[in-house]
């Protein structure tokens, strides 16, 4: 099964590389195709940090405009998706540094209506904790957990060494564990050492 998924991902990346080449030549139809594919994914990524449809839409449009303008700069050293999310990372980091926005929980697949309230509350706690993270840790968590990038892909997207990504994830998980423990009304022995 993994071989099939790897083959599918490689095929998708080849198709996206061809789209990017066409975009570099000014092909608007190729850009429309890439836009339709990436806008929803980028919007979910940005909306989890801003909780604002307008702000998210502005940032995503800025990201995609950068893709349009910089398509010639893509050198093929990474997957197209990694390159695009690298742009998203840098632009989101820039916005996060300029101002802090609240986020709201959103759930992609609500399977059981009976557990909705509990799931929303848990996701709200998690989102609040994530927002308290420093910007680089927050964006790393978003790239790894919400977009499913590997540590290697996240490193390529952020221009960081893989060990830096792993270190950010370690510290982010530790901070989230402390925050969630405090939010639940429990103090762990580690809390005093923070």
State mean pLDDT over 120-149: 81
Q: d(Cα 45, Cα 139) in Å, to the nearest integer?
A: 9
Complete DSSP assignment for 40-99: HHHHHHHHHHH--HHHHHHHHHHHHHHHHHHGGG--SSS-HHHHHHHHHHHHHHHHHHH-
Q: What is the pLDDT of residue 102?
A: 42
Angle, alpha carbons 181-186-188 (nearest 5°): 75
CATH code, domain with 23: 1.10.1740.10
Q: Is the pTM of this model over 0.95?
A: no
Q: What is the pLDDT of residue 118?
A: 62
Q: What is the pLDDT of residue 120?
A: 58
Tell me which of 36 and 103 has the higher pLDDT.
36
Q: What is the pLDDT of residue 96?
A: 75
Lookup result for tokens 């960081």: 160
Q: What is the pLDDT of residue 66?
A: 95
Can you state the angle between helices 53-70 and 80-98, rounded to 10 degrees? 130
Pick from 18-22, 46-50, 131-135 the range whose average pLDDT is largest: 18-22
Q: d(Cα 88, Cα 45) in Å, to the nearest integer?
A: 9
Six-digit token pair at 116? Answer: 């909705």
Q: What is the pLDDT of residue 36?
A: 94
> Does 108 have pLDDT greater than 60?
no
Q: What is the pLDDT of residue 64?
A: 94
pLDDT tens sequence across 161-174: 999 999 999 999 99
pLDDT tens sequence across 179-189: 888 877 654 44
Give me the domain span that covers residue 90.
Answer: 2-193
pLDDT tens sequence across 61-96: 999 999 999 999 998 888 899 899 889 888 888 887
> Does 116 have pLDDT greater than 60?
no
> Does 103 have pLDDT greater than 90?
no
Cβ–Cβ under 8 Å, residues 105 and 125:
no
> Does 56 have pLDDT greater than 60?
yes
CA-to-CA separations, 77 to 80, 87, 94, 107, 115, in angstroms, rounded = 9, 15, 24, 33, 44
Tell me which of 91 and 106 has the higher pLDDT.
91
In the chain, the number of structural domains is 1
């Amino acid at each position: 099964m993994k071989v099939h998924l790897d083959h599918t991902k490689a095929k998708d990346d080849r198709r996206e590389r061809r789209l990017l080449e066409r975009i570099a030549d000014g092909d608007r139809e190729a850009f429309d195709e890439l836009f339709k594919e990436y806008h929803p994914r980028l919007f979910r990524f940005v909306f989890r940090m801003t909780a604002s449809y307008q702000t998210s839409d502005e940032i995503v449009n800025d990201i995609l405009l950068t893709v349009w303008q910089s398509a010639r700069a893509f050198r093929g050293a990474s997957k197209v998706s990694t390159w695009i999310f690298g742009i998203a990372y840098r632009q989101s980091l820039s916005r996060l540094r300029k101002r802090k926005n609240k986020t709201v929980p959103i759930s992609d697949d609500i399977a059981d209506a009976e557990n909705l309230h509990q799931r929303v509350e848990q996701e709200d706690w998690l989102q609040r904790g994530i927002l308290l993270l420093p910007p680089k840790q927050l964006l790393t968590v978003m790239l790894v957990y919400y977009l499913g990038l590997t540590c290697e892909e996240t490193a390529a997207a952020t221009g960081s060494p893989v060990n830096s990504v792993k270190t950010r994830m370690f510290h982010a998980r530790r901070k989230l564990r402390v925050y969630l423990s405090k939010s639940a009304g429990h103090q762990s022995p580690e809390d005093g050492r923070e």
